[in-house]
Amino acid sequence: MSSAQLPNYLRANRKRLGLLQDDVAFLLGAETGESVCRHERFVREPSLAIALAYEAIYQRPVRELFAGLYQEIEKGIATRAQTASDRTCLKKTSLHSARKIQTLADMAARLFSKDQNL
């Protein structure tokens, strides 16, 4: 059974560095801390550029800053990889499709086993 992660850990990392929302907003190029507040409260997901900026500010990987969101995305990919593998198995097998089936099956197995180890 996997443990539930918060959608993000922005607030904890900001507090760890002793920064105010307005400080982080300035570093992000925003005028006020309002957008930082919305991100921290899970009201709005940041753009890729802003997520990468958070990584630069907090010196933590995006997948760690947004652990819950990452976990949710990873589960969806595992499910779709299994479905794609199953669909590909039903088609005529060629060297390419055999490699694709193996890749998708390995991906699904890795992600599902990782989920169960959490």
The pLDDT tens digits for 5-15 are 889 999 999 99
Tell me the percentage of the chain whose pLDDT exceeds 90.
63
- Residue, of 84 and 30, whose pLDDT is higher: 30
Mean of per-residue pLDDT scores for the chain: 88
Residue 91 — pLDDT band, cuts 50, 70, 90?
low
Q: Are 116 and 2 in contact (CB under 8 A)?
A: yes
Query: Which of 115, 104, 48 is closest to 81 using CA atoms?
Result: 104
Report the half-sphere exposure of 111 (CA within 13 A, side-chain side).
19
